[in-house]
Chains A and B, each alone.
Chain A
Amino acid sequence: MILKNRVKLFFSLFLLVILGCANAEKQPEQLLLSKNIVLHYEQPDNISHSWRTLILKYPDWYFSHEVVDPKTMYAGIDLTGLLQDYIRSIFDPEAREALPAGWLEELAREQSAAFGIKDGNAALMEKGFGSLYHMFNKEEGRGEIFILEENQAHWLQVHSSKEQFQDLIENIKER
């Protein structure tokens, strides 16, 4: 009887350890985007880093992250001091009026069209860490996420299904 109980106990413990290991594998990783923002992500197939861009690749989707450099976002245009307003104006036509030059308004309009922003596929979420603008282009299976913090802007470009894109947004959290 004692032996039977010990065997039961042993198998119960063994099962707990196995389940614990399985759960531990599923714990999301954390990518610290800044001192205020963390991205929870599942282990990708591979991660590559080139220049300012980090790319995480999964079997059927991928996304990149970079901190936007106002001097190199566009070749030959320096957006220093204007970057946050400019990014806002890509998503918000009314914000374009606040830009200091007509050609910048035109650039924002053109960028909005190039991303494929139209009624109903873009949104703004105000978070504790800043403003999160996002859009998903269903035809191209591509989404754009811009996070505006006080002193910097993050850009995530996502090639995925709408559901995976939505999951990614939900996994961007305040630290």
Chain B
Amino acid sequence: MTEIERHAVDVVVIGAGGAGLRAAIEARARGMRTAVVCKSLFGKAHTVMAEGGIAAAMGNVNPHDNWQVHFRDTMRGGKFLNNWRMAELHAQEAPDRVWELETYGALFDRTEDGRISQRNFGGHEYPRLAHVGDRTGLELIRSLQQQVVALQQADFREFGDYEAGLRVFAECTVTDVLLDGGRVAGAFGYWRESGRFVLFEAPAVVLATGGIGKSFKVTSNSWEYTGDGHALALRSGARLINMEFVQFHPTGMVWPPSVKGILVTESVRGDGGVLRNAEGRRFMFDYIPEVFKEKYADNEAEADRWYTDPDHNRRPPELLPRDEVARAINAEVKAGRGSPHGGVFLDVSSRLPAAEIIRRLPSMHHQFRELADVDITREPMEVGPTCHYVMGGVEVDPDTAGSRVPGLFAAGEVAGGMHGSNRLGGNSLSDLLVFGRRAGLGAAAYVTSLGQDKPVVAMADVDQARQRALAPFGGSPADGPPENPYTLHVELQQVMNDLVGIIRRSDEMELAVKKLDELKRRARNVVVEGHRQYNPGWHLALDLGNMLLVSECVARAALERTESRGGHTRDDFPQMDPEWRRALLACELARGPAGAEAEVRVSRHVQPPLRPDLLALFDLAELQKYFLDDELTDHPRWQLRERA
């Protein structure tokens, strides 16, 4: 075999978004030689697109806030399907992560007494999102990027080498995680620019690759979101959970066509924006579900008072969790009360003075003026749901972020469990920081525990990875016409959008599974032209395999779950079913008979029961809306209820 570029390190982090960089910083701090591998240029990761803020119960704006309230909100938002331990760690540690980011130099909007300001957001009981205007994600990435530069310059002063502790491999794609006896031994990838292969020999890999949105036609996600980490985990033997839950953000741009799907931040509603249908009606009052009736105002007067007096009024229903708002918009459009371009109206112009809109929502003002010729200080925006986030991901140990494959860790969007069936806005950036750090810690502890017993990369596996990567250059396929990756990608996006989208039905999903099978077969015949040097067609051909695998998980899991909950809405099973609350669907790759291709298998598992002290944080009456009676016997009020 030919020579290959090799790097021996302790930890490889795949992805340089918020979770990846935070993991890398932590691993290096624990003395690990760390490599960060990312598909884009350094500092361009999808995290930059997060607008609203970082949820953390610092209590700077409302002193009543604390981690217990944040925990409750997160569990409610996820309809109690969340991994409670992750939700607990997240709520407890988020404030420390925000303060730490501030010590890295992050800019934040400030309160009058100079502390970090916090804003309201859907599903959060108190103003909780630390933010920088509407460019919080950009600032988060920049602060972590700056921290990496600072650490590299410190390493240079100490070791004479900028990259002694932490090296970034930008525009480099990992295509395989390599194993040795079931344990992680390294990672194989290629430089996007030269097409040359690169081998990382490392006993620990942290997946921080983000989401899967590019499998859907209308999405707010950037091109990197092809489910790479999800697919790498599956192919390494890890399990994915909650894959049926995909969040459609209620407010994406719907017009003009070239920008369809681009996000309109939830801050517009947090700062007073309201949703109206074509008849001018604030329709969200018609869509407050039973479980939320006590928390949300049922009339405009009370909803409007809430902005200035939140302690004595209920919240406006525009700030319901995202799944509720997205479904409501979908229903209004279906009922023929949509806007001219198939959305609804989001109006902030009649709610705030123009100068205040420009101050609070500068990016939105700019985005609509530049791309849609709409002045949001004078007229409403047209918005509709857009695929935004996948709640599903790698099943991990909450404390260490480790998967069931020794040496394989996952953090951020690629990890599953934290958000249950639906993520609250603002809980993503905090998730990245909390579990990015924990993944870095977990990987470092694992590598240390190995001592001299390090897994070794087998060259036969490297050869196989190379052959797999080169397959699209293989020339004429044996069993059908050559296919091109762009066409297949477009078809995949259409299938997912039409058949496994925001509202789902069993016959449509069965059709989707069939179509995905067919696409998978055709994808084997993908042929690309040209050479390996910066060849976008080849890159897409490889990403396409990941998207197909992950899409299959979404479709099969969604077909299995016969209820509606959070980011999974079934037309044929519209109710939430407490039996399903404690059910967890897991996807894994099952090897068929020798020679046959591995296929996705979905299995049903029981959720670990909620710890009694966490159960006690909720009113029994609220829990009874979600849980079966036999799950609530540990609640302190259960016995009282029996006596009464």
Q: Do A and B come from one complex?
A: no
A interface with B by C-beta (< 8 Å): none
Chain B residues with CB under 8 Å of chain A are none
